[in-house]
Amino acid sequence: MSDSRRDGPKALSGLLPEELFSCLGLDKKFRAKQIFKWIADGARDFSAMTNLPLPLRESLSRGIPLFSTSLLATLQDPDGTVKLQIGLDDGSAVETVLLTDSSGRKTACVSCQVGCPMGCAFCQTGHIGYARNLEAGEIVEQFFRLEDSVGRLDNIVFMGMGEPMLNLEAIRRSIAILTHPEGRQLSRRRITVSTAGITSGIRSLADEGPDVRLAVSLTTADPELRSSLMPVNRANPLPELKKAIAYFSEKTGRRVTLEAALMGGVNTDEAHARQIADFARGLNVHVNLIAWNPVETLPFTSPGNAETRNFTRRLEALGLNVTLRMRRGEKIGGACGQLGKSVQCGIAPQDPEEDPWSDGKEDQKD
């Protein structure tokens, strides 16, 4: 086994069992399955893999590491939210967040890019710029590092730093690793991929899988306002986004979640409620609302409780199925839209409760 990492993987966390077998030059395939299972079960060095022969453990320890990332900091909000700052081997960093609902279910919100190129006006991450896509191992390690910190997780959402549809192949590999029957065995019904509205990615997910939940950050169905708040709307206008969502539901049989961050006096009046209802008409969707989480450098305010309740009631009166999500993690910069301020390492600026990711009802399809 070569000690060189120049042309090989950074770490073993991003490899499937058959790839571990080849990469490590093992003579027995079941050894690769053992290593894969150990990584999923919490081993962070080969010395912990007690069912491997000692000479093999010692030999493997001199080669490719299990993980390429490091845990830089752990922050905990009084509401129970946990945020990890995770260092990457190139000196940059990302953040990943644990959310716990009222039933005790634990959801990992993981990042897929260093920064984000989408430039959404209300999102902290979109204002720190973009450096690169994460590799599958760097994504998987966020999930495992959260489990190291807080115990076994129930759900994962690709909704942290970055746009998942711009790194879909790494997302697919991450899901293949986390759901593999020889490893973590996470159920696909517990996985959500979120997008700001990249229609080609939505269609690709429908056509090529994996078969997971989809959430779309809609925020507003006013085309001019959405283009102002979310530049993605210019290349992926609302009529095309609606067609892509309909295609996804028809192809997969799954309901899609429409996410809306509510900003005081911006997207919470009756006209905006009617526009969302018009957009949702004919679609198999559920609407998740959350009051915008403050970012001190951005020119928005959170709506008051009455403003939020009134908007929720307007949508319900228009026949929509709506959940109002609780804000969590605000005190540690771990709330939706707040990630990234403390991990800007080398990124150049660019222009451009209940289970918080569902309505508490299980899809009919696994």
What are the residue numbers of the active site?
Answer: 95, 336
Q: How far apart are CA 282 and CA 278, in angstroms?
A: 9
Nearest residue to 136 via CA among 165, 171, 168: 171
Residue pair 141/95 in contact (Cβ under 8 Å)? The answer is no
Please, what's the b/e burial string for 209-219 (b: 16 or more CB within 10 A of its CB; e: otherwise)? Answer: eebbbbbbbbb
Residue pair 220/256 in contact (Cβ under 8 Å)? The answer is no
Q: And the tokens for 141?
A: 């390690």
Q: How far apart are CA 303 and CA 301, in angstroms?
A: 6
| Rg value, the chain, Cα | 21
User: Residue 38, Cα to own-chain centre: how many angstroms?
Assistant: 24
Which residue matches tokens 């994996």?
Answer: 210
Identify the burial level of 15 via C-beta atoms within 10 angstroms of its C-beta, where 0-12 means exposed, 13-18 middle and 19 or more buried.
Answer: buried
Q: And the tokens for 62?
A: 């001199």
Q: How far apart are CA 292 and CA 300, in angstroms?
A: 8
Q: How far apart are CA 332 and CA 319, in angstroms?
A: 36
Nearest residue to 244 via CA among 261, 232, 231, 230: 232
**How distant, in Å, are the alpha carbons of 12, 52, 67, 143, 267 from that of 41?**
14, 15, 14, 12, 45
